[in-house]
Amino acid sequence: MLLAFSTWPEIDARLKSSRTVIIPIGSNEQHGPMGLLGTDWLCPEIIAHAAEKEGDLLIAPTFNIGMAQHHLGFSGTISLRPSTFMAAISDWVNSLARHGFDRIYFLNGHGGNVATIEAAFSEIYSDYSYSAEACPFILKLRNWWDLPGIARLCARIYPTGHGTHATPSEIAVTFAAYPDRVKSHLMEPQIAPSGPIRDALDYRARFPDGRIGSDSSLATVEDGRAIIAASVTGLIEDIAKFDAD
């Protein structure tokens, strides 16, 4: 069930049987010469929407702008400051909790979001701790690549050149969902350098084409289909455990 394509009476009815909602969350940022700018929000959305077709899941609209200040040296990147991002996450959570959702699951597609999302969770929980009230909901963050079995699968498909940004696995997922958007590019070096992430100018100097440690050219539509299928199984399994918590 997709929340955005439902009516409020349908959501009222849904809440009588399940109070769990999944929020795909990511970022709109550069992904090297081959990767779509929306890769980090497209991947969790693609996986969540595919899982919705196979399982009894409710998927919220995608939170598609994240904390990507370090990518601002590349055209098309849109970023929220950490403080803005945290405030927006809090508003999303409180909106959903007000209606009775008590299991709120963020399926994340951008590593740069993790620290800020976790800080937002701590900020939300602290409101209840300081007021000596029991929090009426549970929050969970899961990166799609950390779903059961995905890291092992990606390591098998890409024993070298996977890297940490503009990875062939994430680009393959977008290619599988949008094959008309497949792009190719001769990249030099074939495997990008690795290093620390700081501000936008430092990032652009260290990683001239945007990639970190990856060979994006390894991505294929077939790989993407396999990764999506495994991610769907992993997400349904992870949500079942979350519901039981």
Q: Measured between alpha carbons, how far is 243 from 131 in angstroms, rounded to an integer? A: 26
Domains and CATH numbers, the chain: 3-244 (3.40.50.10310)
Q: What is the pTM of this model?
A: 0.98
95 and 129 Cβ atoms separated by less than 8 Å? no
Asked, as a colleague might, if the bond just before 148 is cis with ω within 30 of 0, I would say no
CA 8 to chain CA centroid, Å, is: 26
Q: Return the number of other C-beta atoms located less than 10 Å from residue 15's C-beta.
A: 15
Q: Name the CA dihedral angle for 234, 237, 242, 245, rounded to a multiple of 10 degrees.
A: -140
Residues present in the chain in total: 245
Structure tokens belonging to residue 24: 């795909």
Tokens of 41: 């929000």
| Tens-binned pLDDT, residue by residue, of the chain (245 aa) | 999 999 999 999 999 999 999 999 999 999 999 999 999 999 999 999 999 999 999 999 999 999 999 999 999 999 999 999 999 999 999 999 999 999 999 999 999 999 999 999 999 999 999 999 999 999 999 999 999 999 999 999 999 999 999 999 999 999 999 999 998 998 999 999 999 999 999 999 999 999 999 999 999 999 999 999 999 999 999 999 999 98
